[in-house]
Structure 1
Amino acid sequence: MTSADALMADPRPQWLPVGYRCRAATTADVDAIHGLVAACERDLFGRPETAPDRLAAELTRPGPGPESGALLVCDGAGGPAGYGWVKGSRARVHVHPAHRGRGLGGALLGWTETRARHLGGDRLAQTVPDADRAAAALLRAGGYSRLVTEWLLEIALPHAPRVPGPPAGITVRPFRHGDEQAVYRLTEDAFDEWQPRRKSYPEWARHTVGRGTFLPAASPLAFAGDQVVGAVLSLDVPGHDEGYVERVAVRRDHRGQGIAGTLLREAFRAFHHLGRPACTLWTHSATGALPLYERLGMTVRHSSTVHGKALVTG
C-alpha cells in the first residue's frame, strides 16, 4: 500500500485534527456531501447553488477507481465535517461552517496535493469563492497563485425576452433525442481552446445531457444545413426557482454572427415560460465571453478565483 492509499484507508490519520475521522467518499454519500456543500454556500451566498446530481457525477468520473479521489471527513458523531475531491489537475475542498477554524481546511489541502501526486499530477488548481477570504489566504500561504477569475452571472426574467430571428443560413430548434453525439463533439471542440483535457463522451454526458436535471426544452441548438454549429445546454435544478445554463458553445467558423446571443435568448424565453424569474450561468476570464453576456443584460452575482501551483515530488 502506498502512502496515498494509506491516507484513504486509515480512518484517523495523523494529519487530521483530533476528533475527526475520514473515509473514501462514494455515491452513497451524495446527500450528506450535498448537505455540507449547501451549508457552505448558504454561509457565503445566502443560498445553495450546487445540485446533488453534479456531486453524483463528480463521484463517478472515470479514473483509477471511481472513489479514489474523494474523501469525506466526519466528526465524532459521524456528521459530515469536510469533503475533499481530486481529479487530474483539479481539486475542491469544503469545510462545514460549524467546523471551521480547527485546521480541517489545511489538512484537506495537504491531502489533495498528496493525492494528486499519487494520481500522477504535477500541478493542482482549486476554485475558491472570492467571498471566502480565509480559504484564499490559506491557498496563498500554501504557494498557490491566481490563474483565472470565474463569474456567476444572472439575468432577471420578468418578461419574455425578445428573440430576433437567427442569422442568415442558420436554423434553431430545441435539443432532441439523437443530438447527443453531435453536440458532444461541438462543445468539446469549442472548449478545447481553454480546458485542460478533452472529456470522453460518458464523462461529458454525466455532466450535461445524462443528468436528471437536463432540460431539452431550454436547450436550443443552431444548425447550418444539417450541421450543429451552436448549442446552449440548460438544467432545471431541483430546489431552485432559477434556470441554469450549463454549456454555451459555437463552432469556431460560425462565431461573430450572433448565434450565441440568439440561443441564449431562446433559453431565457423558455425559462420565462416555465415560470422561472431569473437565469444564471458561469463563465471565466479565459473564455473571453463576459462582454457577450453583459450585452445580453446579464450581471455578476458573485465571483471566484482559480488558484494553482506546481506540485513538487519527493
Structure 2
Amino acid sequence: MFPAGFANRPATIDDAVAIYDLMAATEMRWHGRAEVVPDAVAADLQRPELDLTRDTLVVHAPNGDLAGWAWLHLGKRAQIDVHPAYQGLGIGTALLDWAEARSRAEGSEWLAQAVDDADEAGTGLLRSRGYEVLATNWLLERPIVTPGPRTVPAGITLTPYDEARAHDVHELIEAAFSEFQQRRKSYDEWARLTVERATFLPAASTLAYAGDELIGAVVALDLADTNEGYVEQLAVRADQRGKGVARAMLDDTCAEFHRLGRQNCILWTHSGTGALGMYERLGMRVRRSTTVYRANV
C-alpha cells in the first residue's frame, strides 16, 4: 500500500532521466556526490529480456515528483530507490512488497537486492524481512598521476578497443565473470549495457593480446563533466592471470583518462570475484560499499 495520494505505474524509457536524478539525489544525501553513471538507467531499462510493463514500477507524489522506483530482473534481482524527500513514508516497504510478489509470480524461490551501506533504513527493512548477506560490492578509486613509462608483460600487446572483436570481448568477459555469476549475458544484453551505450569510450577501452589471441579487456565509460574515468568491466583470461596483464591494461586506460583531464579512475568490484586484493595492489582503495542481501520469498 502506497501513501494516500501517491500514484504508481510501470516505467517507460522516458522515465530514465527522472530515475537517474532520483538515484543521484540519494547518493548526494549519503556521500555528498552523485556517482551513478548518467546513461546507466536507460541501459538497464533497455535490457532485451526486460518487460517494462511487468518488471518495473515508478511512484509519483501528489505534486508529480518521482518519489520512488523499482525494477525486477529475471525474477531474482531487484533494485529499489526512494527519493530522500519521500523516505520514511512506507514507499520502500511497498516497493519491496511489489518486488517480492513479482518474484514469486515468476516462480523464483529467492530475491536479492543491493543496498548502499549508508542506507540504514533500507538495510533495516531487509534485515527485518529475514534477508541475509550474500556478497559485498566495493567502489574503488585510484588517483591518476602523470603517466610514466609503462610496463607491458613480455609477449603481450595492448591496443584500443576494436569493434571487429566485439564478440570475442563479450566471450572473454562473460567467461571470466561466470566464475562468480550464475548466468552469462547474451551478446545483445552485454552490448546494450556496455559498448552500445552513449558513454562508452573506445579510446580508453584497452584490449590485451598474446599473439593473435585476445586474453584481456577493459571496457571504459566517459563520465562527462566529472574529473573521473570509469571502468565498467575488466577481465583477464584465467590462464593469463598473475602476469601483470591487469596492471598493464589499467595503466593504459588511465593514461587515456589522464589525456582527457580525469584525475581519478573508479570501478566497482564484487566479493565473489576475489579481486579486491589485486586491485589494492594496483593502487586502488575503497571509497564506499554496498551489500547484497538475499532471502527466500
Give the corresponding residue for 1:9: none
Residue 50 (structure 1) aligned to one of 36, 39, 45: 36
**Does the 8 A contact of 2:3 with 2:90 survive in 1?**
yes
Compute the displacement of 1:176 (Å).
2.0
> What is the 5 A alignment of 1:1-314?
15-63=1-49, 65-88=51-74, 89-160=76-147, 162-164=149-151, 166-311=152-297
Specify whether residues 247 and 64 from structure 1 end up closer, same or farther in structure 2 by C-alpha distance, changes over 3 A only: closer
Aligned equivalents of 1:161, 1:16: Cα separation in 2: 56
Compute the displacement of 1:226 (Å).
1.3
Compute the displacement of 1:158 (Å).
3.4
- Amino acid aligned to 2:219: L
User: How many residue pairs align between the two structures?
Assistant: 296
Compute the displacement of 1:241 (Å).
2.2
Question: What SS does the corresponding residue of 1:127 show, helix, strand or coil?
Answer: strand
- Aligned identity (percent) is 49
Aligned equivalents of 1:231, 1:30: Cα separation in 2: 29
Q: CA deviation digits over 1:84-139, x for unaligned, max 9?
A: 01002111110000001111111111111111222232211111111111111110
Aligned equivalents of 1:67, 1:160: Cα separation in 2: 48
- Amino acid aligned to 1:226: D
After alignment, is 111-120 or 38-47 more displaced?
111-120
Aligned equivalents of 2:53, 2:205: Cα separation in 1: 31
Question: What SS does the corresponding residue of 2:227 show, helix, strand or coil?
Answer: coil
**Does the 8 A contact of 1:155 with 1:298 survive in 2?**
yes
**Does the 8 A contact of 1:186 with 1:249 survive in 2?**
yes
Gaps of 5+ in 2: none
Compute the displacement of 1:64 (Å).
6.2
Aligned equivalents of 1:287, 1:231: Cα separation in 2: 16
Question: What SS does the corresponding residue of 2:164 show, helix, strand or coil?
Answer: coil
- Amino acid aligned to 1:143: G
TM-score by length of 1: 0.91
RMSD across aligned C-alpha pairs, in angstroms? 1.3
Question: What SS does the corresponding residue of 1:30 show, helix, strand or coil?
Answer: helix
**Does the 8 A contact of 1:161 with 1:269 survive in 2?**
no
Aligned equivalents of 2:33, 2:256: Cα separation in 1: 24
Gaps of 5+ in 1: 1-14
Q: CA deviation digits over 1:251-285, x for unaligned, max 9?
A: 11111111111101111111111110111000021
**Does the 8 A contact of 1:51 with 1:238 survive in 2?**
no
**Does the 8 A contact of 2:11 with 2:52 survive in 1?**
no
Question: What SS does the corresponding residue of 2:163 show, helix, strand or coil?
Answer: coil
Specify whether residues 161 and 303 from structure 1 end up closer, same or farther in structure 2 by C-alpha distance, changes over 3 A only: farther
Compute the displacement of 1:169 (Å).
1.9
